[in-house]
Chains A and B, each alone.
Chain A
Amino acid sequence: MRIRIALITVALVLAWPGSAFASSADARPLTATSILAGRAALDGTMVAFEGEAIGEMLHTSDDSVWLSVLSDGTALGVYLPEQLAEQIAMFGDYDTTGDTVRVAGEFRRACDEHGGDMDVHAVSLEVIAPGADREHPVEFWKLGLAAVAFGVAAAGTFYSRRRRLVVEGG
């Protein structure tokens, strides 16, 4: 209960126009890599960071979801209410670059609620750039390499059979 009250308070503070936190977060959002590097100092504090939503939303037994946000090469788990996450349209994978999101919430170096996982309990999420499809054109030189290699393998097999026939015949 106390955690919920704290989160609501934090949300109100964040939403307050011109609040000190909002202005500092607007000025210089962190990356997941910098949060990981500064985990001891940031533990239990409010952080804001930007990154690509990857994989998918993973539902939990309550009405919350887990979201992975990739920024600066590090993916960080974000725990948030499902309604907040619903605005994400695209998640990053081989075919897709996911939406870029800006997440604000409490950073927990070892979350007691989640078995010691390092996570961010988000109080706000904003899609700041839409995702896009990733193009993967077929590189035809690879097909050429395959053709040459299959040719060598076929020639080798043919030679081997012929040699065996000669040995058996002679």
Chain B
Amino acid sequence: MWVTRTHSDVRAIAHYTGVLVVGIGLLMVLPLVTAAVLGEWAVAADYLAGLGVALAAGVLLMLAAPPGTRLSHSNALLVTGLAWLAATLVAAVPLALSGNYANFLDAAFDAMSGLTTSGLTVAQDLDHMSLAHNMWRHLTHLIGGQGIVVAALSFAIGLRGGAVSLYQAEGRDERIMPNVMHGARFIWFVTAVWVTLGTFALSTLNIVRGMSLVRGSLHAFFATVATFDTGGFGPMSQNALYYHSPVFEFITLVLMLAGTLNFNLHADLWRGDLREIMSNIEARALAINMGLLSLAVALGLTATQLFGTPGEVLRKGVYHIVSANTGTGHQTLYAPQWATDVGGLAFAAVVLAMAFGGMASSTAGGIKALRVGVIVKGIIQRVRVSLAPPSAVIRTRYHHITDQTLTDELLSGALLVFVLYVVTYISGGLIGAAYGYPAAQAIFESVSATANVGLSTGITSPAMPTGLKIVYMIQMWAGRLEFITLFAVIASAGLAFRRRKTRSL
């Protein structure tokens, strides 16, 4: 049975979407202050306008229902889905005013890409973009990576009803702490520690190499946030290649791995308990996945003879496998090189790494190592059943936070999401090919968008067809919310439209 929304449901949804929009708007104070401190007054005007538009839109939406209105589980799902769209539209306002985007759609593309921690960009003249605008672009990674709802919960801006439902609808189906609010705050605590450490290390490196204190520190913060939140934006058009530094690549490699770690495992690490990470199915699946794909990329690159030295295999092979697998998308290759220079095997390995993705309950995207691990366990169980006598009872156990038994329900849930990702990867690839791009590159770009990675073969550019920009935006949105939340939004919109049509007849 399909449940249609009542007027009070719609009002509650609008109210909470408004709360989150106000929250996004208030965060624009940070780039506004950055612009004022750096004397970028024209940019400060962009953020003043952006802040005003966000507050106006948010307050008007909040008027739909009184504060404290209860939010049911299904309505929470819709709020989360819509919040990402609303946040994208609001976050795009100052970017659209920056002059670095051809139109509002391009600014919205980057806002969606930033919030979903994808990292694909259609910005123009990035090398001359202001530091304050770069601050906002990278903050979208921070906001989106930790989760818009988690951000709102952490700062307690008024989400009293249905907090647990909102939290789960954002793709965080695991509880790190018994209390959702404590869980949200723990996520921000872990993030603060890593961002501080990363910014300090990269600032030191940048300043030693000759960057000014301000630029060196801001670049370090941008790189840290883009890496720990597995985003992939960079303040320069060359992305990570701009720095030409193995030390930079090593530090970002560590940050990428930290960023893809399940927040539950961060909690164990914080407690000094290494046993969980050693026995966890997700950590094992990710380690095996990265190991095998690194081997494949090494073989592939060596075969090209272009990237044959150990240093090249490490810096161009392993770095990009980790970047792809963790969903970060930092690259030290030029986009056109993917199609022609790295060879077929390395290209395929990077596509697979992007498709599989990192860990659940982290900032990473893709199918996720936990699901891959569960599916592999399921296949092994089926083989064992087929070889065992008919009377035998075969049980498969695995460890993820606690000891668990593999059930048909768990397996079908993992397979459902796996299939949805694969169908979306292929569909986006077919659409890209229909626009005239080579099939392999179209698949690469589609996987990168859906798995929120950000590596690009060059298809993503300001000159890309408008239709394809919208397709990639939907893929980024769907991938970040792991489909079901977005489907709920679409189904509810469809039901509302059908009901209105029925009434008018």
Enumerate 18 A-B pairs (CB-CB under 8 Å) in ascending A order.
Answer: A54-B128, A56-B212, A70-B237, A77-B242, A92-B127, A93-B128, A94-B40, A112-B312, A116-B307, A116-B332, A118-B333, A134-B128, A136-B41, A137-B42, A142-B49, A146-B48, A152-B56, A156-B62
| The 8 A-B residue pairs with the shortest CB-CB distance in the complex, in nearest-first order | A149-B52, A115-B315, A116-B312, A156-B59, A153-B55, A136-B42, A152-B56, A146-B52
Chain B residues whose C-beta falls within 8 Å of the C-beta of A145 in the assembled complex:
49, 52-53
Contact A142 B97 (CB under 8 A): yes
Tell me whether A117 is interfacial, beta carbon within 8 Å: yes
What count of chain A residues pass the 8 Å CB interface test? 54
Stretch of B176-184, B336-344, B393-401 lying at the A interface: B336-344
* Given A58-B244, A152-B56: A94 touches B131 (CB 8 Å cut-off): yes
A68, B209: Cβ atoms closer than 8 Å? no
By the criterion CB–CB under 8 Å, are B59 and A152 in contact?
yes
The CA of A74 and the CA of B311, in the complex, are separated in Å by 25
A5: Cβ under 8 A from any B Cβ? no
Chain B residue at smallest Cβ distance from A52:
B127
Q: Does A41 contact B (CB under 8 A)?
A: no
A84 CB, min distance to chain B CBs, angstroms: 15
Q: Which residues of A contact B334 (CB under 8 A)?
A: 36, 74, 118
Interface pick from A11-19, A20-28, A122-130, A157-165: A157-165
Complex contacts, A159 vs chain B, CB 8 Å: 63
* Chain B positions 196-214 with a Cβ under 8 Å from a chain A Cβ: 208-212
Q: Considering the complex, which residues of chain B in the window 226-277 have a beta carbon less than 8 Å from any beta carbon of chain A? A: 236-238, 241-246, 249
B426 at the interface (CB under 8 A from A): no
Q: How far is the CB of A70 from chain B (nearest CB, A)?
A: 6
| B positions within 8 Å CB-CB of A | 40-46, 48-49, 51-53, 55-56, 58-60, 62-63, 66-67, 97, 127-131, 208-212, 215, 236-238, 241-246, 249, 306-307, 309, 311-312, 314-316, 332-334, 336-337, 340-341
Which of B53, B58, B243, B246 meets A58, CB within 8 Å? B243
Decide: A117 near B97, CB < 8 A? Known: A68-B242, A138-B42, A152-B56: no
In the assembled complex, A62 has its CB within 8 A of some CB on chain B = no
Contacts of A157 in B (CB 8 A): 59
A3 contacts chain B at the CB level, 8 A cutoff: no
Contacts of B45 in A (CB 8 A): 138-139, 142-143, 146
Which residues of chain A have a CB within 8 Å of any CB of chain B? 36-37, 39-40, 54-60, 65-66, 68, 70, 74-75, 77, 79, 92-94, 97, 109-110, 112, 114-119, 134, 136-139, 142-143, 145-150, 152-153, 156-157, 159-160, 163-164, 167
**Contact check: which of A110, A136, A149 meets B306 at CB < 8 Å?**
A110
A153 touches B59 (CB 8 A): yes
The residue in A65, A110, A164 that gathers the most chain B C-beta atoms within 10 A of its C-beta is A110
Given contacts A117-B244, A134-B128, 13 further A-B contacts (CB under 8 A): A54-B127, A58-B209, A60-B244, A94-B129, A94-B130, A112-B312, A116-B307, A116-B315, A117-B332, A136-B41, A138-B45, A145-B53, A152-B56
Q: Is the CB of A68 within 8 A of B52?
A: no
Shortest beta-carbon distance from B37 to chain A in Å:
14
Q: How far is the CB of B23 from chain A (nearest CB, A)?
A: 14
Chain B residues contacting A77 (CB-CB under 8 Å) are 238, 241-242, 244
With contact pairs A70-B127, A152-B56, A157-B59 given, residues A143 and B48 touching in the complex (Cβ less than 8 Å)? yes
Q: Using Cβ atoms and an 8 Å threshold, which residues of chain A touch B131?
A: 94
Complexed CA–CA distance, A92 and B55 (Å): 35
Among A40, A68, A112, contact of B236 (Cβ-Cβ < 8 Å)? A68
Docked complex Cα distance between A92 and B242 (Å): 14
With CB as the reference atom, state the residue of chain B lying closest to A137: B42
What chain A residues lie within 8 Å of B62 (beta carbons)?
A: 156, 160
Q: Among A39, A60, A153, find the residue whose CB has the most chain B CB atoms closer than 10 A.
A: A153
* A117 close to B241 (CB less than 8 A): yes
| Nearest-CB residue, chain A, relative to B238 | A75
Q: Which of A55, A136, A147, A164 has a CB less than 8 Å from the CB of B127?
A: A55
Decide: B42 and A57 in contact? CB cutoff 8 A: no
Most buried by A among B48, B51, B249, B336: B48
How many angstroms from the CA of A150 to the CA of B62 in the assembled complex? 15
CA distance A55 to B312 in the complex (A): 25
- Closest Cβ–Cβ distance, residue B208 to chain A (whole Å): 8
A3 to chain B, nearest CB (A): 15
Q: Is there contact, CB below 8 Å, between A164 and B66?
A: yes
Asked whether, in the complex, the Cβ of B48 is within 8 Å of the Cβ of A115, the reply is: no
* Complex alpha-carbon distance, A110 and B52, angstroms: 48
Residues of chain B lying within 8 A (CB to CB) of residue A74: 237, 334
Measured between beta carbons, the chain A residues less than 8 angstroms from B49 are 142-143, 145-146, 149
Q: For B242, list chain A residues within 8 Å (CB).
A: 55, 68, 75, 77
Task: List, in ascending order, chain A residues with CB within 8 A of B341's CB.
Answer: 39, 109-110
Residues of chain B contacted by A58 (CB below 8 angstroms)? 209-211, 243-245
